[in-house]
Amino acid sequence: MAFFAVACKPKADVNTIKDETMKLHDVVMANHSKIIGHQMKIDTLLKNLVDLKTKFPSIDTAAEKLEMQKLMIDLVKAEESMNDWMHNFNGDFKNEADTAVYNYYKKEHDKIAKVDELYKSEIKKSDTYLAKFKKQ
Q: Indicate the domain borders of the chain.
A: 10-132
Q: Mean pLDDT throughout 104-125?
A: 97
Helix (H, G, I), strand (E, B) or coil at 63: helix
| Stretch among 7-11, 46-50, 65-69, 74-78 having the lowest mean pLDDT | 7-11
Q: Mean pLDDT throughout 5-21?
A: 75
20-38, pLDDT tens digit by residue?
999 999 999 999 999 999 9
Instruction: For residues 75 and 43, give the distance between their C-alpha atoms in angstroms, rounded to a whole number.
Output: 11
Write down the pLDDT at residue 10.
60
Under 8 Å CB-to-CB from 46, ≥6 apart: which residues? 65, 68, 69, 72
Instruction: For residues 102 and 9, give the distance between their C-alpha atoms in angstroms, rounded to a whole number.
Output: 8
Mean residue pLDDT of the chain comes to: 90
Write down the pLDDT at residue 119.
97
Residue by residue, DSSP assigns 88-129 as H-----SS--HHHHHHHHHHHHHHHHHHHHHHHHHHHHHHHH
DSSP 135: -
65-113, pLDDT tens digit by residue?
999 999 999 999 999 999 999 999 988 887 788 888 999 999 999 999 9
What angle is formed at CA 88 by the lines to CA 117 and CA 106, rounded to 5 degrees?
Answer: 60
pLDDT at 9 over 90: no
- Quick check: pTM over 0.75? yes
pLDDT at 136 over 80: no
- pLDDT band at 11; cut points 50, 70, 90: low
Write down the pLDDT at residue 94.
78
